[in-house]
């Protein structure tokens, strides 16, 4: 289906919903969805963003700034994932536990605003990976307008570019809990350690980056080709090593395969 037809399919779908609260992270997908929903539904489109230890302040600030600039009503929802039973032990269904809890909170906000639906920003590409959060969304009756329209990540980036959205080329992001191997305990202190490490690397000039934490002692860095080029300089590598050591990591390693979404899923058995 041509891209223009997919865009119209999305708009028609949103129009028929009549109103919704969008789970808004400020990423590529949820930004495009929220922008389009607001264009179609006006004040019947509400943005809801979680404030939590797994969500960097820089991302929350960007989400707040976008809604303010676009004139979209925005609700900040406090969320403490570490208080969810079982979450901190980082089981393979960690994302399910989180999303089930979060969508329940967004549902209550939607009801308070007299909005009949809630929606997430999942796209067609999300169906090809291990995504327990999609199960939680289905159980909670969450709409996925981008998937309904058959839009892929690349297509959403292109439509965002045409609309002039600054997020069109924004690097992919996932919550900080995804930096831990399954079964490794997640704590507020270690989340903060990863957040500060990634912020340092971003400030250094890296764009697409993950700091994967192994055993609390080792930081495994994933980055793209531009990041590899930057880290090629010995002085830069020494600066990174020194800073991350200061944040509590005993070892700092560069993953030779580079950045890849959901790399921690490689440790799961095929049946998961």
- Give CA angle at 122 (152, 168), nearest 5°: 55
| pLDDT at 126 (0 to 100) | 82
Contacts 24+ apart (CB under 8 A), 4-11: 6/149, 6/150, 6/151, 6/155, 7/36, 7/149, 7/159, 9/148, 9/149, 9/150, 10/36, 10/145, 10/146, 10/148, 10/149, 10/151, 11/36, 11/39, 11/40
230 close to 258: Cβ distance less than 8 angstroms: no
Where residue 266 falls among pLDDT bands split at 50, 70, 90? low
| pLDDT at 272 (0 to 100) | 44
201 close to 211: Cβ distance less than 8 angstroms: yes
Would you kindly state where each structural domain of the chain is located, as residue ranges? Answer: 3-169, 176-267
What pLDDT digit, counting tens, does each position of 16-30 carry?
Answer: 999 999 999 999 999
Q: Which CATH superfamily is domain 176-267 in?
A: K homology (KH) domain (3.30.300.20)
| pLDDT at 1 (0 to 100) | 83
User: pTM for the full model?
Assistant: 0.91
Q: What is the mean pLDDT of the chain?
A: 93
What pLDDT digit, counting tens, does each position of 207-216 carry?
Answer: 999 999 998 8
What pLDDT digit, counting tens, does each position of 62-73 carry?
Answer: 999 999 999 999
Contacts of 238 (CB under 8 A, 6+ apart): none
41 close to 18: Cβ distance less than 8 angstroms: yes
Least confident of 2-16, 60-74, 113-127: 113-127
pLDDT at 267 over 70: no
CATH for 3-169 is 3.40.50.620
What pLDDT digit, counting tens, does each position of 168-179 carry?
Answer: 999 988 899 999
Q: What is the mean pLDDT of residues 156-165?
A: 97
């Amino acid at each position: 289906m041509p891209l223009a037809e997919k865009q119209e399919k999305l708009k028609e779908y949103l129009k028929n919903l009549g109103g919704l609260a969008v789970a808004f992270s400020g990423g590529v997908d949820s930004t495009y969805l929220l922008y389009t929903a607001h264009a179609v539904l006006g004040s019947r489109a509400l943005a809801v963003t979680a404030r939590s230890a797994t969500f960097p302040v820089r991302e929350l600030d960007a989400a707040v700034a976008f809604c303010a600039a676009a004139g979209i009503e925005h609700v900040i929802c406090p969320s403490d994932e570490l208080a969810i039973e079982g979450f901190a032990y980082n089981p393979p269904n960690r994302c399910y536990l989180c999303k089930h809890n979060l969508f329940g909170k967004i549902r209550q906000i939607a009801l308070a605003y007299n909005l009949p639906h809630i929606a997430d920003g999942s796209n067609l590409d999300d169906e090809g990976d291990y995504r327990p959060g999609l199960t939680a969304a289905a159980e909670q009756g969450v709409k996925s307008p981008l998937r309904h329209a058959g839009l892929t990540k690349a297509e959403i980036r292109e439509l965002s570019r045409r609309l002039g959205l600054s997020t069109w080329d924004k690097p992919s992001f996932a919550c900080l809990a995804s930096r831990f191997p399954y079964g490794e305990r997640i704590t507020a202190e270690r989340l903060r350690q990863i957040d500060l490490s990634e912020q340092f690397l971003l400030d250094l000039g890296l764009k697409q980056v993950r700091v994967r934490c192994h055993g609390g002692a080792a930081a495994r860095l994933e980055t793209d080709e531009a990041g590899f080029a930057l880290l090629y300089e010995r002085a830069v590598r020494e600066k990174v090593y020194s800073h991350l050591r200061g944040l509590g990591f005993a070892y700092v390693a560069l993953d030779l395969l580079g950045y890849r979404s959901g790399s921690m899923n490689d440790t799961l058995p095929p049946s998961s």
